[in-house]
Chain A
Amino acid sequence: MIEFIGVSKSYNAGTVILNDISLTVERGELVILIGPSGCGKSTLLRLVNRMIAPSSGQILIGGKDSALLDPVELRRGIGYVIQSIGLFPHMTIFENVEVVPSILGTQKAERRSRAESLLHTVGLEPGVYGSRYPRALSGGQQQRVGIARALAADPDVMLMDEPFSAVDPITRGGLQDEFLRIKTEINKTIVFVTHDIDEAIKIGDRVCVLNAGAVQQFDTPEALLRAPANDFVASFLGEDRELKRLSLMPVTALMRIPPSNAGEARGQVLASSSARDALSQLMGASGRELNVMDVAGNVIGLIAMSDYGRNP
């Protein structure tokens, strides 16, 4: 658990970066910090591992005041992933992943087996990539290594500063999907900075929208999209926020259950699809009804354009 209590940061010239921020990140939760450039989101993140010191206020990590901890020790217990990745170019992939365990004095064999299992977790074959140097890997592969490195000492807390924004959109989508899968496996408290609202909605448990050094709204993606707290949040979410909300909703939440005329020839949509994808298919099917299918191929419901009117 991470608690920010009345945290402010300003520089000598009087520039205020963060103004009296208080928020709590629960244990095992993934909180997104999002906002326009200069809103203070990266600064807020870097206060946690004391890359930056606050001007005032307290940051409690697992109930302990981080200002009282040795910064070097503190950082060894916090995974850190940055946009520029920052793999060590003179170390192999194995050596990169093993950096923190080796600082902590973990035995070589134990380090290596941990590195191998982590590379598996992030989707890289250790036998193929482990002995390579970072320059031989693509940007997306390098960031997978960056995540494995941050996880190597099994920290309770992970800080991720725009980890996927330097890779191309297709790789980014793949990394996000994989990260969602990894997240459920590792069960860490994660603070994640991004400027991409779609990414925030896709992977965040809760999203904190920042502007001009102050919290504008801090809530679940669904609540944020349904009821933006102010004009800034609304415009930041975009005019298509109802569509974004549909992307969070499974099609099964909108379908009608009694398939009275099941089996009649019509288009199909998988039950695992989002309501947004189903809407897209309905538009392509010129407004006809679609059968909602489960994985076994059974029709479990019907969805039509008209079902979207009674949006819960």
Chain B
Amino acid sequence: MTLARAALLPVLWVAAFALFAWQDGWRLALTALFPNSRNPVFERATLLELVGQHLAIAGLASVLVLIVGLPLAVWATRPSGRPFLPLIANTVSIGQTFPPTAVLFLMLPILGFGAQAAVLALFLYGLLPTVSGALQGLETVPADALEAGIGSGMSERQRLLRLELPLALPSLLAGVRTTLILVMATTTIAPLVGTGGLGVPIIGGLGNDNLAQVLQGALPVAMLALLTDYSMRTLERRLTPWRS
């Protein structure tokens, strides 16, 4: 069962990319679906190029979330950072209450047009699930296990690495998964500040009343989000065999 799952995952990713690369297939399908459309397929870039741009922006924002968010959550649960715990929790919440579109335009005067503004907006938007998932995981480590760890002579560092982080993993990884999916979907607004990605045919299509192009952008985004979700769930199961 788990072996089949693990083997299925790369197959699904390869199949998805093969589908993205099959430009003629999309043209055939979209022409058949929208016979009245003059330009059913976005032609200024191939779908594969759009997917590549999309993944680069979403990936960069997600990596930033991990680099900043996870150490932040760990620090906020250490004695030195604990006074800042409410501040951090509230600040990342505010980051998510701001609509990312608004953040994008607020960033424009500072960062100008381009990928930087998009990545920053997505980073702020995606920070909350990862930080709160990690915080929740670290805060709910069973007290008896911690007591036994201290009593066994584990140093603070050993407790963090051997007990707290592994035991926080279920919640932490669920938070990361939410972040990845959120960022993957929200990257579609990146073209508003002049970058690429799968949002290009969507936003362009909406402007020209071209539903075929909207679909051409939206379907791959949905596929990428689903695949990410499935991959993360597989990873979660792999890393926490003790839960089932």
Listed in ascending order, the chain A residues whose CB lies under 8 Å from chain B are 49, 51, 72-78, 80, 82, 84-92, 99-100, 103, 133, 135, 146, 149, 159
| Cross-chain contact of A90 among B146, B155, B167 (Cβ < 8 A) | B167
Q: Taking the complex as formed, is B145 at the interface, i.e. its CB lies under 8 A from any CB of chain A?
A: yes
B157 to nearest A CB, angstroms?
10
Contact B147 A90 (CB under 8 A): no
| Cross-chain contact of A86 among B148, B162, B169, B242 (Cβ < 8 A) | B148
Contact B242 A82 (CB under 8 A): no
Other A-B pairs beyond A82-B144, A87-B148, 10, CB < 8 Å: A51-B151, A72-B154, A75-B150, A82-B148, A86-B144, A86-B149, A89-B145, A103-B158, A133-B241, A149-B152
Q: Which residues of B contact A75 (CB under 8 A)?
A: 150-153
Q: Which residues of B contact A89 (CB under 8 A)?
A: 142, 145, 167, 242
How far is A92 from B241 in the complex, measured between Cα atoms in Å? Answer: 10
Q: Who on chain B is nearest to A159 by CB?
A: B151
Q: Which residues of B contact A76 (CB under 8 A)?
A: 152-153
Q: Which residues of B contact A87 (CB under 8 A)?
A: 145, 148
The 4 closest A-B pairs by CB, nearest first: A86-B148, A76-B153, A80-B151, A75-B153
| Cross-chain contact of A135 among B144, B162, B166, B242 (Cβ < 8 A) | B242
Contact B152 A91 (CB under 8 A): no
Q: Which of A72, A85, A135: most chain B Cβ within 10 A?
A: A72
Contact A82 B151 (CB under 8 A): yes
A81 to nearest B CB, angstroms?
9
Contact A72 B147 (CB under 8 A): no
Tell me the residues in window 155-180 of chain B with beta carbons closer than 8 Å to chain A beta carbons: 155, 158, 162-163, 166-167, 169
| Cross-chain contact of B240 among A88, A90, A99 (Cβ < 8 A) | A90
How far is A84 from B146 in the complex, measured between Cα atoms in Å? Answer: 11
Q: Number of contacting residues on B, CB 8 A? A: 23
Q: Which residues of A contact B154 (CB under 8 A)?
A: 72, 99, 103
How far is A87 from B149 in the complex, measured between Cα atoms in Å? Answer: 9
How far is A86 from B143 in the complex, measured between Cα atoms in Å? Answer: 8
Tell me the residues in window 85-137 of chain B with beta carbons closer than 8 Å to chain A beta carbons: none
How far is A72 from B154 in the complex, measured between Cα atoms in Å? Answer: 6
Q: A84-B144, A86-B142 are in contact. Are A91 and B242 (CB under 8 A)?
A: yes
21 contacts between A and B (CB under 8 A): A49-B151, A72-B155, A73-B153, A74-B153, A76-B152, A78-B153, A80-B152, A82-B144, A82-B151, A84-B144, A84-B147, A86-B147, A87-B148, A88-B149, A88-B162, A91-B242, A99-B152, A100-B153, A103-B153, A133-B241, A133-B242
A46 to nearest B CB, angstroms?
9
How far is A136 from B71 in the complex, measured between Cα atoms in Å? Answer: 33
A76 to nearest B CB, angstroms?
3
Q: Which residues of B contact A91 (CB under 8 A)?
A: 242
Tell me the residues in window 53-81 of chain B with beta carbons closer than 8 Å to chain A beta carbons: none
Contact B163 A88 (CB under 8 A): yes
Contact B151 A88 (CB under 8 A): no
How far is A91 from B149 in the complex, measured between Cα atoms in Å? Answer: 12
How far is A133 from B15 in the complex, measured between Cα atoms in Å? Answer: 37
